[in-house]
Structure 1
Amino acid sequence: MAGILQYCFLILIFGIPTHTCAAVVQNAKCVREEPCFDLHLLANMAERVSKDVTAADGEKILLKHRSFDKIGKRRNLHSCVLQKIIKLFHDVLDKTKGNYVPKDEEINHHLELIHVMDRLKNCLYETKDKCKKLYKMADITTTSSPAIPEKNMNPNQLAVLQLQKLKYASERLSNVDIQEMVMDELKSLHLYMRGKGFRKNTND
């Protein structure tokens, strides 16, 4: 009888934490919620449709990772910028969907990625009206070469710079070079996503 009671006690001790943690582990921490979207899926699909374009230094649309990481540490900034990034990729995918020819595939990954962009929007942190001021600042700031080197910019300045790059590309969507540049950067898009909503699903 004592053995049964001891067994039940051990179940209670070890069973409760396991149940409350939902068995999703990230960085050795127990995460309560499932990820909103599995970024491995985005990366795999993007590889199938991305272009291989060699862009001159400084011509890329997305900032370098070390610069974008500064934006990523500010939840509101990151979400506001991601909204515009996702919109640009959605618009280019939609504009070029007729050019994609699936190669022995049952799924048209190009069309699927358009739906993925819509899903990604729902994974963003809710900013309400906090983006308006940032977007306005990006609109009124000159698009010429910034006086401050990118490596010395603070998160707000980098967010404005990124928004200007996105705006420049968005205004030239009919340009084939811009389309191909966006499609090339599609394969690295998953690296710019961060936070609980985009956590990779470790249950796969």
Structure 2
Amino acid sequence: MAGVWRYCFLILIFGIPMHTYAAVVQGANCVKEEPCFDLNVLANMAERVSKDVTAADGEKILLKHRSFDKIGKRKNLHSCVLEKIINLFEDVLDRTKGNYVHNKEEINHHLELIHIMEQLKKCLYKTKDECKKLFKKSDITTTSSLIPEKNMSPNQLAVLQLQKLKSASKKLDDVHIQEMVMDELKSLHLYMKGKGFQKKTND
């Protein structure tokens, strides 16, 4: 541990580029790895792909940010829910890829975004067993409409989000659902922030 701090001290003082040890300095902290994925890339690519999509009416598929933030504070819940969110968006991108023309651009941003979805999955915590339990719970649990969303626990919110995703997944041939997903794609990067969006390194 002392060696790590000594390494960080050398970088801070002398700015010596040492690449033999996989550490980077962020502020005053010594971090073992660089961020798994630059979410600015996701945001910019999503904006290019969805810029012409009209905001969809009706109930949103993704929870409000203040509700989702509660899920984000629980890394296992967050990674399991993100897995399903990424799957849904990837499915819609795949279904709609023929609707977008990129003749005037060097990069097909639509296809590139599909590849990004695969990269995002690799950044999630590996919580296979926990996810199975949560997915099963969301299948058998009936979310009570008597509990306001703002009063729900992180577990209840995770179940609610999974149920909304499952409902949308069953209607992917519906153009309205496709448009809703493409519209929400613009803010998807905001849901990635949190403890769950990091690759687990202590395997």
- TM-score, normalised via structure 2 length: 0.83
Task: For residue 12 of structure 1, report the CA deviation from its aligned partner.
Answer: 8.7
Q: Distance in 2 between matches of 1:12 and 1:138?
A: 46
Structure 2 residue aligned with 1:53: 55
Q: Distance in 1 between matches of 2:103 and 2:97?
A: 14
Structure 2 residue aligned with 1:168: 167
1:184 correspondence with 2:183: yes
RMSD: 2.4
Q: Distance in 1 between matches of 2:8 and 2:39?
A: 34
State the AA in 2 paired with 1:22.
Answer: A
Q: Distance in 1 between matches of 2:118 and 2:76?
A: 19
Q: Distance in 2 between matches of 1:118 and 1:42?
A: 12
Task: For residue 112 of structure 1, report the CA deviation from its aligned partner.
Answer: 0.5
1:15 maps to which of 10, 19, 27: 10
Does the CA-based 8 Å contact 1:37-1:197 persist in structure 2? no
Name the % identity: 73
Does the CA-based 8 Å contact 1:38-1:198 persist in structure 2? no
Task: For residue 128 of structure 1, report the CA deviation from its aligned partner.
Answer: 2.4
Listed as ranges, the matches of 1:25-40 within 5 Å are 25=26, 29-40=29-40
Give the number of equivalent residue pairs. 185
Where 1:187 maps in the other structure, the secondary structure is: helix
Task: For residue 21 of structure 1, report the CA deviation from its aligned partner.
Answer: 8.5
Name the stretch that deviates more: 188-197 or 125-134.
188-197
1:164-185 CA-to-partner distances (Å, cap 9, x unmatched) read 1100100000000000000000
Structure 2 residue aligned with 1:67: 67
Which structure 1 residue ranges, 5 or more long, are not aligned? 1-10, 200-204
1:125-145 CA-to-partner distances (Å, cap 9, x unmatched) read 1102111111111111236x6
Structure 2 residue aligned with 1:82: 82
Task: For residue 14 of structure 1, report the CA deviation from its aligned partner.
Answer: 4.2
Which structure 2 residue ranges, 5 or more long, are not aligned? 1-5, 199-203
Does the CA-based 8 Å contact 2:24-2:34 persist in structure 1? no
Structure 2 residue aligned with 1:159: 158
Structure 2 residue aligned with 1:139: 139
Does the CA-based 8 Å contact 2:102-2:108 persist in structure 1? yes
- TM-score, normalised via structure 1 length: 0.82
1:70-91 CA-to-partner distances (Å, cap 9, x unmatched) read 0000010000000000000000
The structure-2 alpha-carbon separation of the partners of 1:108 and 1:70, relative to structure 1 and needing over 3 Å to count, comes to same
